[in-house]
Structure 1
Amino acid sequence: MNATPDETAKVLRAWERSASGYDRQIAFFERIWFGGGREWLGARAAGRVLEVAIGTGLNLPHYPAGVTITGIELSPAMLAIARRRAAELRRTVALLPGDAQALPFADKSFDTVVCALSLCTIPDPATAIVQMKRVLVPGGRLLLLDHVASTWPPIRAAQWLLERMTIRAAGEHFTRRQLPLVQAAGFEVVEHERLKAGTIDRVHARKPELST
């Protein structure tokens, strides 16, 4: 189902409000929940890299030196922090405002597309994944990291309850699964890891060579 302008605007408002404190707020979860995920993404990135919903640029330290990086982000406030981080790291990064659901790039523009901890809030994740496929070259890599519905029913029930608040407040989902959307879009799954009682997904997928 396509996202409405109101849904996208709600997510934008939420990130604009939280941008200044985001790095501080997520630091605890980075240690105990997402640990190693950003390094996992960086180790698999190659060539021309597009990071969708780059946020404050927390992945930037983990990309190898030989890649070229383009980042797109809905929130101008988050993007401003990412620009400062890139400058501090002395990394040349093209950072642009834009919507993951309508990527402003030509077909087959990138060798790798990365999206970390963002498909949980993008209003129409299926459309975003189709857009990611469109901008990848045939044989290109899709690298995803996100929190998803747990494999353990008691945790999944708690996630569902939490969503009753977070979806209304900021459009954030805890019971989504990105892997079925990746498969439905026609990607070939290369690696898939589920961690932390199945609440964390790491996905490395490949656009088929014969794809247009």
Structure 2
Amino acid sequence: MTNAGPSRETRRQQRTWRRHAETYDAKVAKAERSMLAGSREWIGARASGRVLEVAVGTGRSLPHYRDDVTLTGVDLSPEMLAIARRRATSLGMAADFQQGDAEALPFADGSFDTVVCALALCSIPRPDAALAEMARVVVPGGSVVLVDHIRSDVAVIYAGQWLLERFTIPLQGEHLTRRHLGEVQAAGLVVVEDERLRSGAVERIRAERPGATRFEAT
């Protein structure tokens, strides 16, 4: 866990989510019914034990977690967290929500059995730093579960993504052509599931931190 203050880019993202918190659900719902269909369910099926959701946002994954998980959600935006808290209350779900930076998670090493990050590495300024933090706070043998949109393998789609980025990056810090598999491996995690969907523009990854499993004494 680093004690450095947030970067200029991180502060910009905080301002962005302050502006868009109330409209986020409506904007993302269409994508989750189409190109991202099934992704929240995929996450929920792989999350167990003490679960940390990084960049939990408005809590759109909450309905898909099993009843026996202990959930902590962290997000840069207090406005997004307020919506997540309301969603948890409406679901009758106990969860601990905290404001924090994905690049400097406010948790001790090995605090969680599963770490989840959905549709956020595209806008976190330094995804490599965030993934290193996720690897740090998950227990040896625990899982890091990721879903995001990434650069497509199809040339015409990639060209469209690149053009859109001329607007999405300066306006809201959203990258459409990143890929994260190499960063996951660079963080010291072992990839055990990796699937590409929608012409390669959506990726789902489950990786594990090497070492004793969470059920073994250390």
Secondary structure (helix, strand or coil) at the match of 1:86 reads helix
Q: Within 5 A, what are the aligned runs for 1:35-74?
A: 35-74=37-76
Aligned-residue CA RMSD in angstroms?
1.6
Separation in 1, partners of 2:17, 2:36: 20
User: Residue in 1 aligned with 2:113?
Assistant: 111
Tell me the TM-score normalised to structure 1 length.
0.96
Ranges in structure 1 where 5+ consecutive residues have no aligned partner: none
Shift of 1:185: 1.1
Aligned mates of 1:4, 1:99 — CA distance in 2: 7
CA apart distance, 1:153: 1.1
Q: Take 1:37 and 1:86, find their aligned partners in 2: how far apart are those partners?
A: 19
Is the contact made by 2:6 and 2:101 (CA closer than 8 Å) also made in structure 1?
Answer: no
Counterpart of 2:161 in structure 1: which amino acid? Q
Moved more, 139-148 or 181-190: 181-190
Task: For residue 88 of structure 1, give the secondary structure of its aligned residue in structure 2.
Answer: helix
Residues 3 and 124, structure 1, Cα contact 8 Å, conserved in 2: no
Deviation at 1:4, TM superposition (A): 6.8
Instruction: Give the equivalent residue in structure 1 for 2:153.
Output: 151
Query: Could you state the TM-score of these two structures normalised by the residue count of structure 2?
Result: 0.94
Task: Determine the C-alpha separation between the residues in 1 that align with 2:64 and 2:193.
Answer: 19
Residue of structure 2 aligned with 1:31, choices 18, 30, 33: 33
Q: Name the CA distance, whole Å, in 1 between partners of 2:110 and 2:27.
A: 36
Which of 74, 77, 81 aligns to 1:75? It is 77
1:1-212 matches, cutoff 5 A = 5-209=7-211
**Percent pairwise identity:** 56
Distance in 2 (alpha carbons) for counterparts of 1:103 and 1:4: 11
Equivalent residue letter for 1:38: R
- The separation in 2 between residues aligned to 1:90 and 1:182, in whole angstroms, is 34
Aligned length: 211
Cα offset, 1:3, TM superposition: 10
SS for the counterpart of 1:114 is strand
Partner Cα distance (1:195, 1:175) in 2: 15
